[in-house]
Amino acid sequence: MTFTTTALEGKKVLVTGASSGIGAGIAVALATAGASIAIAGRNADRLAATAEAARETGATVVEIIADLTEEESAARVVAEALDGLGGLTTLVNAAGVFEPAPIASGIGFLDRQLAANVRAPFLVTAAAIEHLRPGGSVLFVSSVGGHIGFKGCSAYGATKGAIELLVRSLALEEAPNGVRVNAVAPGNVRTPMNAHLFADPEFEKKEIGHTPLGRIGEVGDIADAAVFFVSDSASYITGTSLLVDGGLAAG
């Protein structure tokens, strides 16, 4: 999909999880489409690389180093984004972790994923929401794992299922305030977080076999969907989760 460089002109967007993978791809795509962005992530070097790529588009970019699993980070990140951009129109919650493991592997697998995938975006959204009213939007990066089950992914699936219901409930809560709330739910997408899995040719062959469109997703597939949701073209859409999964959930 191709967007004009002015499609998001005037948008001031905070993107979490922007130091790599889907978050980084979304940040650069938003900048390319004309948005000013504040990007948050834990790894300073990788976040700087995202910032450099975004600045090459001519966009205003604010870098914020933060571990959003630390409760006090949410308010600080939002405050720094507001200060650096002079306001906020949009929040994109892209930070998250993926740790597949059987349910008997220990509570640590659940606690870590709840902290990064549910608690952190909940706190950032709570800190940002009043600054998005009226006319703003929130976009969560969910997963096909929040729509269908996968063996060995009970903890991860539980966190993404929570995000799916958070989107619907918060959309109803914020509709009177003019704030839209949506999610994009990726399927199998090639990112640094799962590179170790795709290093096995048999794993990739199996995943392609499960995907009706016959390929693994790329970060750009998700970034394009994010640009659409952030844009005014999605002004009549709220409470929706868009599967970008090559048809996986339809099977």
Q: What is the pLDDT of residues 71-123, one digit of tens each?
A: 999 999 999 999 999 999 999 999 999 999 999 999 999 999 999 999 999 99
**pLDDT at 1 > cutoff 60:** no
Interval 218-229: pLDDT, tens:
999 999 999 999
Specify if 158 maps to a domain: yes
pTM for this predicted structure: 0.96
78, 124 Cβ separation under 8 angstroms: yes
C-alpha–C-alpha distance, residues 150 and 153, integer Å = 6
Interval 116-147: pLDDT, tens:
999 999 999 999 999 999 999 999 999 999 99
CATH number, domain with residue 227:
3.40.50.720
Q: In total, how many domains does the chain have?
A: 1
Specify if 251 maps to a domain: no
Specify if 47 maps to a domain: yes
pLDDT band at 2 (very low <50, low <70, confident <90, very high): low
Return phi, psi of residue 185, to 5°: -115, 95
Among the ranges given (1-15, 25-39, 50-64, 162-176), the one the predictor scored with the smallest mean pLDDT = 1-15
Which residues carry out catalysis? 156
**pLDDT at 6 > cutoff 90:** no
C-alpha–C-alpha distance, residues 6 and 142, integer Å = 27
C-alpha–C-alpha distance, residues 104 and 53, integer Å = 42
In sequence order, the β-bridge partners of residue 95 are none
* Residue 75: count of CB within 10 angstroms of its CB: 14
Specify if 181 maps to a domain: yes
- For residue 242, the surrounding DSSP H or E stretch is strand 241-244
Specify if 249 maps to a domain: no
Q: What percent of the chain has pLDDT over 90?
A: 93
CA dist 140 to 58, 117, 126, 213, 239, Å? 26, 10, 13, 24, 11
Boundaries of domain holding 22: 12-191+219-244
SS3 at position 114: helix
53, 28 Cβ separation under 8 angstroms: yes
Q: How many CA atoms, within 13 angstroms, populate the side-chain half-sphere of residue 192?
A: 11
Among the ranges given (39-53, 166-180, 183-197), the one the predictor scored with the smallest mean pLDDT = 183-197
How many separate helices (H) and strands (E) can be counted in the chain? 9, 7
Specify if 198 maps to a domain: no
* pLDDT, mean of residues 208-218: 95
C-alpha–C-alpha distance, residues 156 and 162, integer Å = 10
SS3 at position 206: helix
Q: Give the chain's mean pLDDT.
A: 96
C-alpha–C-alpha distance, residues 201 and 203, integer Å = 5
Specify if 228 maps to a domain: yes
Specify if 59 maps to a domain: yes
C-alpha–C-alpha distance, residues 96 and 249, integer Å = 21
Query: Among the ranges 47-51, 192-196, 198-202, which has the highest mean pLDDT value?
Result: 47-51
